[in-house]
Every structure is written in C-alpha cells, then in structure tokens.
Structure 1
C-alpha cells in the first residue's frame, strides 16, 4: 500500500495526495495558484481601490516567488523519491525565504538564509531536540561487494587508524585492507572512499559493514567469513571436539594447515614468546577458557583480551592464511610489562612464562584469589631451612614453611672442570628422576645467599599441569655459561610417587604425567634460538614448531633434545 504524500502548494498550504498519480494534486494547486493571482487585483478593482504600477509589480513578484518555491519543492520531491524515500514537505511557520538543498545521499537539509539558523540533518551525532537525524536503511544489494579483496585482509595487527593513529571508531577498508577512522563526512575513512574509490568498510568493534560515502549498512551473508576472521567464535560443542579433530584446513592461498598447529610470525627476536604461546596452547582447560570470550568479558585488560583473540585465531579452522601474527598481543605485552618484553629484544622464555601467568592471574582472579591459571598450574611444596646458629657450630636453627609454585626448577649436575682428551666429544647425560630427588624431602641443597643454609623441599600438592625448568644457564662475574647436559625423560607415564614420597592425603590422587610440550634452546647463550616440540592428541603425533616452521617429527627426536622447559599433563 502506497502512503499518501503531502504536497507543498504555492499558497503556503499543504495538500495530501491520496491517488498514486500525482497529476491530480499538481493540477489542483496550479489552477488555484492562478486563481489566487487574479482574485486579489479583481477584489481591489471591485472595491474601488487604485493600485499603482509599482504595487502591481510587487504583488506579481511576490506571487512569482511563491510559485518558483513550490516548483522547486516538487522537483526536490521527485528527485528524493528516486532514492526510495517518502518526502514530506511541511509548511514553514516563518515568512522568510528558506533554501532547501538535497545532498548526495538523498537526505534533505534546510538552512535559514535570514534569522535564526535552522538545524541541519546529521546521521552520526546530535540529540533529537537539536538535530534531525535521518537513518539510512540497511541494504543487501550493494553494487560494490565484488570489489572486496580477501587476499589483502589482515586483522592481526593493532587496530588503529593508519593516518591519525587513533584507536576509537576504526574501520578496515575491505578493498585494500588499511585501517581508517570514522565514516562521517571529512573523516579519514570517508576521504579514502572518495580518493581511492574504495566503498566497503567494516567496523573493527561491532563488525558492521558500511558503504561509503553513501553511509548505509550492508546486510549480506557473504561477508560472514570476514567477520569470523576478525573475531573467531567457538561454541561449547566445538571446543569439546578440538582434541578429536583430525581434519586439515585450507587457506585462501591454497596452503594447508592444522588448526592449533599454525605457525607464528617472528617479529625480530620474539621466538621466545612464540614457543611459550605454542606450549600453553596444549594445556586443554587453559585453552578452552580463552576460546570462549564470555568467560572473561568482564575483564577490560588489553593483555587478557589480546591473548584470548590470539588463542581463537590459532585454533580457528577458517583462516585466510596458514599462519598468525602475534603483533597485537606483543603490543599489549610491551605496554603492560613496561617494555620488559618487546620487539627486537631477546628474552628468557622462563621469565616471560612466569610473568605472563602472574599477569593473567592478577586480571582474572576472583574474590577467593583463584583463577584458571592457578587451577591448572599451581602446586605446593614444603620448605625446611637449616641454618647455623649464632652461638656455635652445633647450634642449628630449623624453619619450616609451605610455598605455592607454578614452575619447579631442577638443577643439572655441573660439568667437570677438566675434561679428558678422549671425552671432549662426549655430552654428559642425567636421568630426570635423579634431578627430581631434590623434592623428596631428604636431599639437602646448599644455599649461600643471603646466608649459608641447607634447604630441603617436599611436594605437598601436585598441580594438574606440571611445569619443569632445567636450569641450564649460570651467570658468573664474567659471562653466562650454558650446561649442555642431556636430560633423559619419558614421554608418557612419568610416575612421581615412585621417586618422590608424597603425603598421605595426596597418595590417592593422580601422580602420573604425560609430556605435552618440550621447549628447547639451541646455540650459545644470548645468541641462540628457541623451538618447541608439541604433542597433538587427536593423532598421537609430535610436531616441531619454530616461528613459521611446523613439521611432524619422531618421538625419539624429542627425547634427544636439550630440554629447557617442559609441561606435563596429569594422567587420569
């Protein structure tokens, strides 16, 4: 049903059009306009009033202005109707002349020539009392959808305008992939649409797609894949099937990749961060927590939000590329750590891992000081400290305390000071069970600083995921020395209670562990590189990962590596 339209007539009144054909309405006010023009002089003539020639011309000019104004309004209405909009021309209360203009999008703007300034319509801002807003209707038939270029889209970088470097109200051009701010007139995105003839943009916050400079929203299901790349989503059912999925995915460039096994771009000395992230991705409850944004939507920390986004991109099965860049996450790390970890500066994975776990816990902890980090990695051991008394050598002071831990540090046996000529090519080896005796409660470890003491450790609570650190690097007054000792460790069924006496209350709890990640250091101290061996549960296979390099490897190669950090999963 077509709605009736109001037509502005020359006499200043409005007439409602009830028929589809507008010719009747036009003819009615045209006839009345000429009648009114003749009625006034005739009335004065019959009344005996004499009109001067100047007065007659003034009356005719006034009538002509009204006629031209009405004709302009009709032309304006006809042009606006081409945009599919119903234009209602209301009678203006003021007798002053108004100038009516039509902009490029078909929205009507009115502006006073004299007197008070009239309100100009704005699609973006202004209250309803002070501004008239004209909402453009969303469309699904945008003619510029074929210009979208998915090959150039990359949402891994920090979301800020490439011109103003602002982070608010940022849009991505789906034609060239660059970021610009705003979509109103005179904004960077609006200007780019006119200069480069690029018309399709997506809001990086609410994921709405717009056509610029027209300004209408595009509703088309063919753009859903771009939204999934911008902000990957997982359901609870999909998360539960991740460790069972064996299907490979194919990127737009034709490369195949395994979800969860994608390479990470190296950003100049950030391999320590890449291997740490890949190791944490094997911790199932930790990973599952960050795959569901609702679990941490209350947290406003950029570190938590960026780490969650990076986790979802690593495990996403419909990526446009076979690799992911941790650039945005690294920017958040640099800001939160106050440049302790940054691009171009090689760091220790152990230091980064400990800092990251503590920083995430600080943002996610609840009222009971608990979080998913403590649920996964926190254990507890008992420390017995023996120190010499001040009165004599026989006087020994005993101190006993309990301390939580996230990482267990294991001491490697020192290298011999003098090597035999025949033993130069022999690399020393040690069993993991031998260095775990440090935590049996009987083995004493001598500590010199801050005072000489003997420390005994005994594990009182086992974590669900056990992180072991082989202390390979020792720093003296001159240089940092690396211990190349090979640690022999099992890949499966590491039974701790056979080598570490456990308290009775945890004897019945699971004490058997399986290796899921083995982080390795290659080369000299401060000059080497890091790589990691990770276990894929769905295939029961091992993969070697170093930045963008991802390849399948043999379990024997994992056992022969110089382990630096290991993550074991509790076996149920």
Structure 2
C-alpha cells in the first residue's frame, strides 16, 4: 500500500529553499498529470554522483532536472531549480531525497506510474525472493542505449586512479552473504552511530553501490563508485584516494575492518556479516633463534632457557598471506628470463602447522609455524608479490598454478582440526590480477557468474568473458574462495 496521501489532502512537506528554509506547513501543492513528460531524457540521468546543487554546491533540498540531468536546489520562486526551469524551459524535476516529481515553474507534484523506473534507478530495492534467485538468474537486462548486460557483471568507472578499489569492490559484490546483506537496506539502515560519525555513511554508500551493481533495470551498463569512494576518503582520513594508485590488499584489509566496525561488530566471531563470511582462526608457534656468532654448545644452552622456548598464540584472520619463492636468476637458451611457476598447494604448506619460516627483526630472528584451526565460509588468499626495501619496490612475476574448482584446503589441516569441519572443498569466485611494473601497473579482476558458470574479466568499464584456463596464466594477487555447500 502506498504511503502517498490522496491528492486532495497532499501537504507540501518538501523544503522550498531560497536559503535552506522550509515552506510553511499551511501551504499546499496540487497534484496532477504533466504535459511535459515527453521532454524527459533518461539517457542524461546519472544518479551515481554526489547529490549537490550544481550552482550553490549545497546538499539541502536538491532536485534533479529530468531533461538535462543537472542538480539544482529548491523549487520555490528565485531558487536555482526555478530559475533553471524558466531560463531553459526544462519543466520536470525529481526531489533526490523524497523521490517525488514536480513540474516547474508551475510548482505542482506529478503523479504518474511511468516515472517509476527513474525512481527505481535512483534507489533500487530488492525483495527477499528476488535475492534468493540472483545466483540462478540467466536473464540479460537491457540498458537505455540497447546494451545488454548481466546484473552484477557491470563495469565500474575509473575516476582517475581507483582501479585498485574497483577490483576489490567488484570481488566483494560476488560474496553472496555479503551481497545479500547489503541489498536489503533494512539490515543496516537503523544501526545507531554517534552524531557526525562517517562510518554510517560508509555503510550506506556501500549498500547503494551494491544495489546499483545488481540492479536489473539500470539505464546504463556501468556504475560510477564516486559517492562510495568519497566516503572511503573521508573515513580513511585520506589514506585511500581515487586520485593516486594504491594497493588492493591494503584497501581490502582496511575496508573489511572498517565495515565490521561500522556495523557495530565486536571481537565475537558472528558479530557482523564481515566476520561471519571471512573470519578464520589459526595458531602461531614462535621460537627465538640464538645469535649466529655462538658455538653449538652455547646455542644448545640458550635453547633450554624460557626465552627461547616455543610459544603458542591464537590469531584470527580475515585473509591468509602466501609467500612466493624467490624467482630464479638464470636465463634460458634464448637469453630470456624464465618466468617461474609454483603450485598453489606448495604455497599453502605454510599453514600445515609443521613448516617453519624465518622472520627477521632489527635485533632478533624468529622461526614461526602456522596452523589453521578454523576455515571461514569464504577464504581470501593474498599472494605476496611485492617486496619493499629502502630504495625501491620489487615485483615477483612467478605464476601460481591453481584450480578454479575443487580446492581442498583440508589437506593442510591436522586430523583433529579437519574432523571438526564438515567440508573443506572450495571453489574460486574472484581473482584479482596485477599487470605491469610495481609503481605503474594496473589491476583487473576475474569474476564467476554463478548462474551461468561463465567467467568474466573486468577492468574498470571493460567487461569481457574469459575462459577459466586463461585465468590460471595470470599474475594472481588476491583470490576469494567459496566453501562448497555439502
């Protein structure tokens, strides 16, 4: 049932802002059909950008001109929207907050069901039944210009240098429980935050972006993450920006923790959708290495002291860091460097609880063992390709050979830990790739469309299908694996 009042009782609650003031409660606005609806140009409508008046730059009482797509403040006499309507002859406007339509300069509300598609593009909504069928949908949608697209498989605009953010946002949008949570605004719309806390804005913007990515009725086959990235810049205190290149793993780590905190998550494993989806647990065994300048007798003596005994700590994780072996220095018979390859399972032996790895600090060295004690529903692997020293950053080009299906992470669990898991078989759902030099490279992401089983390569606005066997030949950087339903 609609929450609109009958036309005869409609009271104009929208602000008529010359200077940000609302009109008196006693004033009334008629509602009627409008003869100017055929002047609306849907191809010019873009609701992805910040809702600011293009003249005054205010966020108060902003209206979109549905003829040219520009944003203006107010609709009363002498407001920017009113002036624009008289000067340009553009008559149909949408209040970006109340989602009500008006005709200017006559200033009456328009009631017409043919405008519902515009309202839906501005604020897509999803029913629980619709969400349940997303991963089974094989129907293509058609944009205004005739372009066919699959909901969820749409490009993200690169404003300047935000491809490192785009690939992470695309990958996370295909983590089903995370996507399903943010498609329903009621899941997070009433979360209480302190006044002025920008964390709530981050959650709202990410929810809006997720709904737009999966909108089956978009006017165009791509989305701009402009408002989402502005919220990131604000809450990260400019640590992450869209004007300079960044590292996807740094952004992913910050973003997951920021969302968890913004959703009032705690240290409990099920306190937010982030922890429910990605949180795993491991034990880290650490022992100190005696100084190398001691003889064997002194070393054995030190190993018996408490300081050099192995210690055990519990450590939750949102992703696992896989270390690549150093690339070989030799060249092949054609005088070219050989591109080394390594199997994914070889990298994962780091977490079997037996393999030791040396870690160096300024004064001391340690040996560590990692034992996974709990696997999450979605497992993120970070393949460490970059090493930084005092002077420059080096990239390891080693190719990781990995299957896209049937990866058994149970092979690296101890018997008692594996017995606590009903299933340990995972399938790849997203693969982020780095191309080029460390400081000048670009990022792209491979996404699995579950309903069709088709893989897509997405690099900003460019979306193309790709064969699974081609994915394994890339310089994988971040991967997301999904636990197969038993």
The residue number in structure 2 matching 1:78 is none
1:138 equivalenced with 2:138 (yes/no)? no
Distance in 1 (alpha carbons) for counterparts of 2:426 and 2:71: 47
Q: Is the 8 A contact 2:213 2:223 kept in 1?
A: yes
CA deviation after TM superposition for structure 1 residue 366, in Å? 4.7
Deviation track 1:329-371 (CA, whole Å, cap 9, x = no partner) reads 1111111111111122000011111111111111113567510
Secondary structure in 2 matching 1:184: coil
Asked if 1 retains the 8 angstrom alpha-carbon contact of 2:93 and 2:103, the reply is yes
1:460 aligns with 2:358: no
2:124 touches 2:215 (CA, 8 Å); kept in 1?
yes
Distance 1:507 1:424 in 2: 49
* TM-score under structure 2 length normalisation: 0.88
Partners of 2:274 and 2:144 lie apart in 1 by 36
Q: Shift of the alpha carbon at 1:238?
A: 0.6
Does residue 1:383 correspond to 2:284, yes or no?
yes
Distance 2:432 2:266 in 1: 34
Q: Is 1:524 equivalent to 2:437 in the alignment?
A: yes
2:52 is the alignment partner of 1:160: yes
Q: Does the residue aligned with 1:437 lie in a helix, a strand or coil?
A: helix
Change (3 A) 1:385 1:242: same
For 1:366 and 1:431, the matched residues in 2 are separated by 36
Kept after mapping to 1: 8 A contact 2:351/2:412: no
TM-score by length of 1: 0.75
Equivalent residue in structure 2 for 1:443, among 342, 355, 358:
355
Q: Deviations over 1:367-395 (max 9, x none)?
A: 67510000000101101110147995434
Change (3 A) 1:337 1:502: farther
Distance (whole Å) between structure 2 residues aligned to residue 423 and residue 472 of structure 1: 24
The 2-side partners of 1:305 and 1:506 are apart by 40
Task: Give me the CA root mean square deviation.
Answer: 2.0
- What 5-or-longer segments of structure 2 have no aligned partner? 1-6, 9-20, 194-199, 292-297
Quote the residue 1:403 is aligned against: 315
- 2:403 aligns with 490
SS of the residue 2:412 aligns to: coil
Query: Which of 419, 433, 457 is the matching residue for 1:544?
Result: 457
Looking at structure 2, the residues matched to 368 and 507 of structure 1 have their Cα atoms a distance apart, in angstroms, of 22
User: CA–CA distance in 1 between the matches of 2:126 and 2:419?
Assistant: 36
Unaligned runs of 5+ in 1: 1-83, 86-122, 128-132
Q: 1:552 to 1:505 in 2, by over 3 A?
A: closer
Q: Is residue 80 of structure 2 the alignment partner of residue 188 of structure 1?
A: yes
Q: Tell me which of 326, 332, 337 is aligned to 2:236.
A: 337
Larger relative contact order (CA 8 Å, sep ≥ 6)? 2
Q: CA deviation at 1:461?
A: 0.8
On the 8 A contact 1:518/1:534 being kept in 2, the answer is yes
Q: Are 2:199 and 1:199 equivalent residues in the alignment?
A: no
Q: 1:243-263 CA distances to partner (integer Å, 9 max, x unpaired)? A: 111111111111111111011
